[in-house]
Amino acid sequence: VESATELFSKAFESDPTIAYCLANLTQKQRDDCRPRVIRAIITAATLNAGTIDEVNDWKCCGAVLTPGHMMDDFMSLIRSGMPFAMWSMGFWGCYRAITEMGPMSMACKEKVLPGQGKCYYILYVATAPSGRRQGLCSALVKHYQQLAVRDEVPIYLEATSRYSCSLYQKLGFSVVDEFTVGRGKHATDGRLEDGGPGVKIWGMIWRPEVCTKT
């Protein structure tokens, strides 16, 4: 968890969805808060049969929820340190995560996988800057695709940039829906901006052949 938290916290430093949630905090508060939130999320996932997978000695890493498992039970959230992480997000951070991002993300997943259909849910994938453009992320996603074929379930994820969206498309994922958070209040990079267009998120799915036939 610690190695993954370190890699994700750096790689998602300018991630628009995290910047959107933490927009009311100072830079110092954001830098303190980001690892806490990421650590809590991936800890809650691993407490519920989620996995953390690394490539090339932590040059690239992924955190996924495995089929049939969520991470929203009360005890896991407490044990993961989520209350402390949310406290450090402040009122507006919690408000955005709970009332806007969470419901939009759930609605997007529900659209393509009704009734909490079983899937691998990729929470985070990131490659350290020194390991980028060497095929590490693609290799990791292909590994998840092999697991999905084995278990005959789809893979769902939310891409938070056009770049990662197009990378996943190259790997065979399709866009389920595009949704925008913070419309009218945030810039595309997540910062507060009066009248801004907001932050775009792409819900994406990949189905093994066996699932597309049924």
**Residue closer to ligand COA, measured from CB, 152 or 177:** 177
35-40-46-52 Cα dihedral, nearest 10 degrees: -10
**Residue closer to ligand COA, measured from CB, 25 or 55:** 55
Between CA 114 and CA 176 the distance in angstroms is 13
Give 205's contacts (C-beta < 8 A, 6+ positions apart): 112, 113, 119, 154, 155, 156, 173, 174, 176
**Residue closer to ligand COA, measured from CB, 44 or 173:** 173
Min dist. Cβ of residue 9 to ligand COA (A)? 11
Min dist. Cβ of residue 24 to ligand COA (A)? 23
- Taking alpha carbons only, the member of 89, 83, 86, 77 closest to residue 20 is 89
Min dist. Cβ of residue 214 to ligand COA (A)? 27
Min dist. Cβ of residue 121 to ligand COA (A)? 12
- Taking alpha carbons only, the member of 165, 164, 161, 173 closest to residue 199 is 161
**Residue closer to ligand COA, measured from CB, 170 or 213:** 170
Min dist. Cβ of residue 193 to ligand COA (A)? 21
Binding residues (CB under 6 A) for ligand COA: these are 11-12, 60, 125-127, 132-138, 159-161, 164, 166-167
**Residue closer to ligand COA, measured from CB, 130 or 214:** 130
